[in-house]
Amino acid sequence: MRPLLLFSCFLLLVSCKSKQLTANSPEKYDLEVLAEVISQDNLNDIYPSSNMTEGTELFEEGTVEHPYTILYPKTPDQILIIWKDDERTKLHQIYIDKESRWRSNTGIRIGSTYDELVEINGGPIKFYGFGWDHSGAVDWNMGGLAKSNIRVFLAPLIAPPKDFYTDQMINTTQDEIDNMKLRVRAILFQAPGAD
């Protein structure tokens, strides 16, 4: 019985590894998969119809200039790739802020609710106030996503109290959270070592 079990595990591993990512693979819209495609210098093969555009711009509150690439510009699937280097070989960040096919393989997508984030994180989260460049930035609060490369930013569907417009972490009640109807407005994939 034991050799049969080992052989079955071996076949399962081989079949998983043999599944190749292609331009038609639905998982190509996972941010983590895009990061892997970038690391393999395979963007053109996996996203051949993405109509890539490139440029250079100031990021990080206008303090650092980075080259960038946009996939699917001016469509719902638009996504921004920010590079560390002028040759566009080293990923810095990936950023989305439109409802689209893009998502994190954690299940987070644009429009995910506050409660969904708490469930995915496996524990409570904290967030910064609104009305500044990093408005609604989420702190995973030592939860399951604390060591992940995913950063998210919340926005209220209903205007929050005036004292929630701040660049500080805010203390709030569950009733206040429920009343604001918080949703993910942007997702940032931070490349390892890019902090």
For residue 149, the Cα-to-chain-centroid distance in whole angstroms is: 8
In the block, tokens 């970038």 appear at 38
CA–CA distance, 43 with 21 (Å, rounded to integer): 12
Which pair of tokens denotes residue 128? 């910064």
**What are the tens digits of pLDDT across the range 116-129?**
999 999 999 999 99
Give yes or no for a contact between 89 and 67, defined as CB atoms under 8 angstroms apart: no
pLDDT at 18: 41
pLDDT at 60: 80
Please state the pTM of the whole predicted model.
Answer: 0.87
pLDDT at 3: 46
Half-sphere exposure of 149 (CA within 13 A, CB side): 21
In the block, tokens 């440029």 appear at 55
User: Amino acid identity of 176?
Assistant: E
Give yes or no for a contact between 126 and 169, defined as CB atoms under 8 angstroms apart: yes
pLDDT at 103: 97
Give yes or no for a contact between 125 and 113, defined as CB atoms under 8 angstroms apart: no
